[in-house]
Amino acid sequence: MKRALPIAALALLAGLVAALVVALVHEPAGTRSDRAVSVRTELTPQEAQFGDTVVATVDVSGADPSSVRVRSDFAPYAVVSTVRHAGDGSVRIVRRLRCLEVSCVPGKAVKTFRFGPARVSYGGGSTTRKWPALRVHSLITKADAAAPVLRVPAPVAAPVEYRVSPDATGYLLLALAGLLGAAGVFLLLKVGLRRVTPTRRRVPPLDQVLGELAAASSNGDSGRRRRALEELAQQLETVDQPLSAESRVLAWGPEEPKPEAISDLTSRVRKDVPR
């Protein structure tokens, strides 16, 4: 009986050691990975103005970069570009966000946005991280709201005046249309007989935006100029950040974009930006 007690104690100790070894060997992979994986989220800037581009960055370290997947809901902001940088055991995902919709306009001086958490999955596990709060400031001051500049007067019918008789103008246009029609038929026959497909000259997107901005500057349409300046800022965003920021300031500033400032900006874009 006395010899049986030490043997039983040794058997119990051996069982405990075996159970501990089995528990360590069969520990879930996701549990071990979670302790080693680090996830960090960042918004730049956190204090923005309406129309600004916001950069959302997720840094994941301690996981296989090829297995990392990140999902986030930034509504009402839209993702305009995504860049993924992978390194040795780490990955950075950078998304550029922008919102020019009515839902993003601050009703007061500041409007706070809280995006849904970033859901990060990787080989052997997953986790979530909250985004910092984004505060968007209005570009409209109390003075602007109290005394808005835009005023649309009631329509007034202008007196009917003709420099040229309508009948004479009609006959002239008919004759011109006949000549243009004959010229068009001649060109079609010439192209068809020669069996040559005319090549179209492709206009670069930046030149298209500059042309639209020039047209908007000449017709006095402030809203059209602001939209053209925003499109120019988007085109310059990846090639010249300072000019892109200057174009966006002109587009959404409290004052109406001046033709002189627009002309100076377009001249520097044509001179400094390669196309």
CATH number of the domain within which 59 lies:
2.60.40.10
Residue 74 lies in a domain: yes
Q: How many CB atoms lie within 10 A of CB 120?
A: 23
Residue 180 lies in a domain: no
Are 225 and 128 members of one domain?
no
Residue 12 lies in a domain: no
Banded model confidence at residue 47, pLDDT cuts 50, 70, 90: very high
Structural domain total, the chain:
2
In the chain, % of residues over pLDDT 70 = 79
Residue 69 lies in a domain: yes
Instruction: Look at the chain and count its residues.
Output: 275
Each residue's pLDDT tens digit, 162-212? 787 888 888 889 999 999 999 988 888 887 777 555 556 677 887 788 888
Decide if 272 contacts 246 (C-beta within 8 A): no
Does the pLDDT at position 2 exceed 90?
no
Residue 162 lies in a domain: no
pLDDT of residue 274: 77
Residue 79 lies in a domain: yes
| Residue where a domain stops, chosen among 90, 117, 141 | 141
Provide the domain limits for residue 74: 35-141
Enclosing H/E stretch for 44? strand 38-44
Are 133 and 213 members of one domain?
no
pLDDT of residue 122: 93
| Residue where a domain stops, chosen among 91, 122, 141 | 141
Q: What mean pLDDT do residues 62-76 have?
A: 93
Residue 150 lies in a domain: no
| Residue where a domain stops, chosen among 141, 172, 189 | 141
3 state DSSP class of 35:
helix
Decide if 89 contacts 33 (C-beta within 8 A): no
CA distances from 108 to 72, 142, 159 (A): 27, 10, 45
Residue 192 lies in a domain: no
pLDDT of residue 149: 64
In the chain, % of residues over pLDDT 90 = 34
